[in-house]
């Protein structure tokens, strides 16, 4: 039957289910007035490569195993036989999975071909990520050989009445009947030479598939040269076997696929033969159910909620306002600058500063200035600082999901990735967030271990959360916590990792990074219990329930204060819940110390003045928001720095030095220890000097206690008024299916 006929035979409710589940593929579906028109257009859109791959990625572990089971049976299976093979206790799970697969249009239940027959279209079969042996069963694989090769294999197996074989298909059928009988297959294997048995064991350990080049590396030089000789792929079935590979090919146990030129052809053990050799029952793949997640009551646990991200974003903004930080050729901030920023943040994890930088940059709170090519605070960032804490947290959480500057699924989380990698990162986040939402809905307020969440993720999102990364240092662990055999583990994997993905992090690491780091730092998840990787307990926080589930949040939660304490020893105590706008202003003139206090320094005051602040505005800010009277020595310090700031200006015309007072220039020229050489005095306040750079002259003057500025720093810097425009929350990343179902006139079609 054609795809069109399969679709036309479906009831309207099933067609609606397909349109709903495959909406992204059917986004261009126009209005249809009859069923034939609808099905014709659906066929053109559903059975293209990208659409099928997207649909397969939405299957869970049981569903993909059903598809692999159908592959191993040639694409058409009897539904009742499949359920009988799996066992009657699994009927409900399998029927539910089949119903979902039909809504995805990955298979069809057809009564035209017999009672309860399941049909998987050829285009879908080609895209199912089954191991190569199971896509190439014995009979179809032998059928690709020329007739003389098939007869050669039949003769090698001593099949009786060889002369009576009526055709090539008849010969293939006889060979399959011979090799797929367990007792006969054992006899054939027992008759193999020692070298042939070693080759067979190697191919089995390699999941039943290898290349001619790889196989040759495990043979003696004489045998290897035979395999690599010109046109060997067409000459191996002539005469007696010369090497163990020819011996296995002659018995039909190994099969050549495609061209074997230059030693790169594939050699496989057909899937049905492989099952007999290793004693595997493919129906056992269907006996899998979603693992349960055991809820843990919060009683006896101490929930840990992290709510300092807005504070650290404000610190990053304050730091960039006074320090130079440029970007690399990859377009991200220099690692040295990020390490310097990390010293003043509340979380000491190596990856946390990268997350803070990524969300701040993608939310456009910081950006590269056009003229100086260095990071600075944007007008949007200044408006963000004035928002309520809940709005700040919500904006950062929204940006985090859609950005791909910080990617939890890579070992190096902070890098530049293309759209393909960014899309995969969002799929990881989406899968884990959905599990957290479901767990909260099923057991409100309860914690769940990351180990249980990882197990659920491996079932629901098998293509992302199975331990199939060859670079991962994690060992495979079965349900009992015992290590599994690596060969068997390889057989149970259903996709190969592309070469460009080999830098990905391990599955456990990805789960931990998203659930116990990113979501925690964003304030969306609370943790409890041990901090040891998968033993950590997590649950959605109040903010997480609001953000992901729409649960109303208490407005009093997360309120901020606007007062801090300035002490005579030049230290400032800033409460953890101090408003971000005040924190930003403090971080422009002070550095966090290990004790948690902020320390005022002349150098930071000078940098703030360089960026357009004035001593008067700083004193007023501290007086207005200090919970105690501003100490006199602090006010004197700021006034002193402000009074001395900017009286010397250094620029490059060659290099010139300009002062505000002629006496100051005479004072400078009289100080030989400064090491500044004067070429010529142009005016009473301007002199030409020699030096390597403007920065070197600035460094010499500052070391002597002066507070010079560059010519560009001397320009007045006017910040855009914060309240000139209303702050607009970023739009959430759109990943949901478009609403195509309601655009179709189902009444007319039915």
pLDDT digits (tens, 9 = 90+) for 588-630: 998 888 878 999 888 888 888 887 788 898 999 999 999 989 9
Residue environment code for 612-623, b if the CB has 16+ CB neighbours within 10 A, otherwise e: ebebeebbeebe
Residue 144, in any domain of the structure: yes
Residue environment code for 52-69, b if the CB has 16+ CB neighbours within 10 A, otherwise e: beebbbbbbbbbbbbbbb
Task: Specify whether 281 is located in the same domain as 325.
Answer: no
Task: Specify whether 613 is located in the same domain as 687.
Answer: no
pLDDT higher than 70, residue 222: yes
Question: What DSSP letter does each residue of 678-702 carry, written as one string?
Answer: EEEE-SSSEEEEE-S-HHHHHHHHH
pLDDT tier at 713, thresholds 50, 70, 90 = low
Give per-residue pLDDT as tens, 28-46: 887 788 899 999 999 988 8
pLDDT tier at 229, thresholds 50, 70, 90 = confident
Instruction: Please state the domain count of the chain.
Output: 5
Task: Specify whether 124 is located in the same domain as 154.
Answer: no
pLDDT tier at 721, thresholds 50, 70, 90 = very low
Residue 325, in any domain of the structure: yes
Distance, in Å, from the CA atom of 676 to the CA atom of 660, rounded to the nearest integer, reads: 18
Task: Specify whether 191 is located in the same domain as 149.
Answer: yes
Task: Specify whether 509 is located in the same domain as 420.
Answer: yes
pLDDT tier at 472, thresholds 50, 70, 90 = very low
Residue 218, in any domain of the structure: yes
Element (H, E) at 573: strand 571-573
From 484, 516, 549, the end of a domain falls on 549
Q: What is the CATH number of the domain that holds 122?
A: 1.10.10
Q: Which long-range contacts (CB under 8 A, 24 or more apart) does 425-428 make?
A: 426/401, 426/402, 426/733, 426/735, 427/57, 427/461, 427/464, 428/464, 428/465, 428/510, 428/514
Task: Specify whether 364 is located in the same domain as 448.
Answer: yes
The predicted model gives 265-294 an average pLDDT of: 89
Distance, in Å, from the CA atom of 200 to the CA atom of 250, rounded to the nearest integer, reads: 13
Residue 582, in any domain of the structure: yes
Residue % of the chain over a pLDDT of 90: 39
Please tell me the predicted confidence (pLDDT) of residue 471: 36
Distance, in Å, from the CA atom of 241 to the CA atom of 223, rounded to the nearest integer, reads: 11
Nearest to residue 644, comparing CAs of 689, 586, 695, 705? 705
Task: Give the CA distances from residue 615 to residues 46, 385, 530, 536, in Å, rounded to whole numbers and listed in that order.
Answer: 67, 22, 49, 49
- Find all residues with CB under 8 Å of 582, minimum gap 6, and list them: 562, 564, 574, 625
Task: Specify whether 43 is located in the same domain as 139.
Answer: no
Give per-residue pLDDT as tens, 578-590: 999 999 999 999 8
From 514, 549, 584, the end of a domain falls on 549
Please tell me the predicted confidence (pLDDT) of residue 485: 33
pLDDT higher than 60, residue 323: yes
From 521, 549, 577, the end of a domain falls on 549
Task: Specify whether 271 is located in the same domain as 379.
Answer: no
Give per-residue pLDDT as tens, 83-103: 998 999 999 999 999 999 999
Task: Specify whether 598 is located in the same domain as 656.
Answer: no
Task: Specify whether 116 is located in the same domain as 155.
Answer: no
Residue 410, in any domain of the structure: yes
Task: Specify whether 275 is located in the same domain as 319.
Answer: no
Residue 227, in any domain of the structure: yes
Distance, in Å, from the CA atom of 459 to the CA atom of 479, rounded to the nearest integer, reads: 13
Instruction: Note down the domain range covering 155.
Output: 135-286
Residue 636, in any domain of the structure: no
Task: Specify whether 390 is located in the same domain as 437.
Answer: yes
pLDDT higher than 90, residue 496: no
Task: Give the CA distances from residue 473 to residues 56, 396, 538, in Å, rounded to whole numbers and listed in that order.
Answer: 28, 32, 24
Residue 583, in any domain of the structure: yes
Asked whether the beta carbons of 508 and 533 are under 8 A apart, the reply is yes
């Amino acid at each position: 039957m054609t795809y069109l006929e399969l679709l036309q035979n479906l009831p309207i409710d099933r067609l609606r289910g397909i349109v709903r589940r495959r909406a992204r593929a059917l986004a261009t579906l126009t209005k249809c007035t009859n069923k034939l028109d609808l099905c014709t257009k659906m066929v053109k859109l559903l059975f293209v490569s990208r659409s099928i791959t997207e649909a397969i990625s939405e299957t869970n572990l049981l569903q993909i195993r059903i598809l692999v089971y159908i592959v191993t049976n040639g694409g058409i299976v009897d539904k009742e036989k499949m359920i009988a093979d799996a066992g009657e206790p699994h009927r409900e799970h399998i029927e539910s999975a089949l119903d979902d697969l039909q809504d995805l249009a990955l298979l069809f239940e057809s009564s035209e071909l017999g009672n309860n027959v399941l049909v998987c279209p050829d285009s879908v079969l080609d895209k199912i990520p089954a191991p190569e042996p199971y896509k190439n069963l014995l009979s179809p694989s032998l059928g690709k050989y020329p007739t003389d090769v098939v007869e050669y294999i039949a003769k090698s197996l001593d099949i009786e009445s060889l002369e009576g074989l009526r055709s090539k298909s008849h010969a293939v059928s006889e060979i399959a009947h011979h090799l797929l009988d367990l007792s006969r297959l054992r006899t054939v294997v027992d008759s193999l030479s020692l070298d042939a048995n070693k080759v067979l064991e190697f191919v089995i350990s390699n999941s039943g598939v290898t290349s001619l080049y790889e196989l040759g590396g495990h043979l003696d030089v004489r045998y290897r040269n035979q395999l690599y000789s010109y046109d060997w792929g067409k000459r191996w079935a002539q005469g007696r076997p010369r090497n163990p590979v020819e011996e296995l090919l002659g018995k039909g146990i190994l099969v050549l696929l495609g061209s074997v030129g230059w030693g790169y052809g594939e050699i496989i053990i057909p899937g049905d033969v492989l099952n007999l050799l290793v004693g595997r029952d493919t129906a056992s793949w269907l006996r899998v159910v979603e693992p349960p997640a055991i809820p843990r009551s919060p009683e006896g646990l101490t929930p840990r909620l992290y709510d300092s991200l807005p504070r650290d974003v404000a610190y990053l903004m304050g730091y960039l306002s006074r320090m130079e930080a440029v970007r690399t050729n990859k377009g991200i901030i220099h690692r040295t600058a990020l390490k310097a920023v990390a010293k003043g943040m509340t979380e000491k994890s190596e990856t946390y500063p990268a997350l803070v930088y990524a969300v701040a940059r993608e939310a456009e709170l910081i950006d590269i200035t056009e003229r100086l090519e260095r990071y600075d605070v944007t007008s949007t960032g200044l408006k963000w600082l004035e928002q309520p804490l809940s709005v700040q947290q919500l904006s950062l959480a929204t940006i985090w999901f859609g950005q791909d500057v910080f990617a939890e699924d890579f070992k190096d989380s902070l890098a530049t990735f293309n759209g393909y990698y960014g899309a995969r990162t969002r799929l990881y986040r989406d899968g884990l967030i959905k599990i957290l939402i479901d767990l909260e809905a099923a057991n409100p307020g309860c914690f769940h271990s990351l180990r249980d969440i990882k197990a659920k993720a491996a079932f629901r999102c098998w293509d992302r959360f199975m331990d199939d990364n060859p670079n991962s240092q994690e060992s495979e662990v079965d349900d009992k916590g015992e290590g599994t055999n690596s060969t068997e583990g390889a057989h149970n994997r259903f996709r190969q990792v592309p070469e460009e993905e080999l830098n990905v992090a391990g599955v456990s690491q990805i789960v931990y990074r998203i659930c116990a780091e990113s979501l925690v730092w964003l304030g969306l998840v609370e943790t409890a219990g041990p901090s040891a990787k998968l033993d950590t307990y997590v649950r959605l926080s109040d903010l997480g329930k609001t953000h992901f589930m729409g649960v109303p949040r208490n407005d009093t939660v997360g309120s901020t204060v606007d007062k801090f304490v300035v002490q005579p020893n030049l230290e400032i105590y800033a409460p953890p819940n101090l408003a971000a706008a005040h924190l930003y202003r403090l971080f422009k003139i002070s550095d966090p110390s290990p004790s948690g206090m902020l320390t005022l320094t002349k150098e930071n005051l000078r940098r703030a003045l360089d960026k357009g602040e004035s001593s008067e505005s700083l004193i007023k800010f501290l007086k207005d928001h200090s919970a105690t009277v501003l100490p006199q020595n602090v006010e004197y310090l700021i006034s002193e720095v402000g009074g001395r700031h900017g009286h010397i200006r250094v620029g490059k015309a060659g290099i010139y030095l300009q002062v505000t007072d002629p006496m100051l220039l005479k004072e400078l020229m009289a100080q030989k220890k400064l090491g500044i050489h004067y070429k010529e005095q142009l005016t009473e306040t301007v002199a030409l000097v020699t030096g390597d750079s403007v920065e070197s002259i600035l460094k010499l003057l500052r070391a002597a206690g002066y507070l010079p500025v560059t010519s560009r720093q001397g320009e007045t810097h006017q910040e855009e008024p914060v309240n000139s425009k209303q702050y607009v929350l970023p739009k959430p990343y759109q990943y949901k299916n478009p609403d195509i179902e309601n655009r179709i006139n189902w009444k007319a079609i039915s």
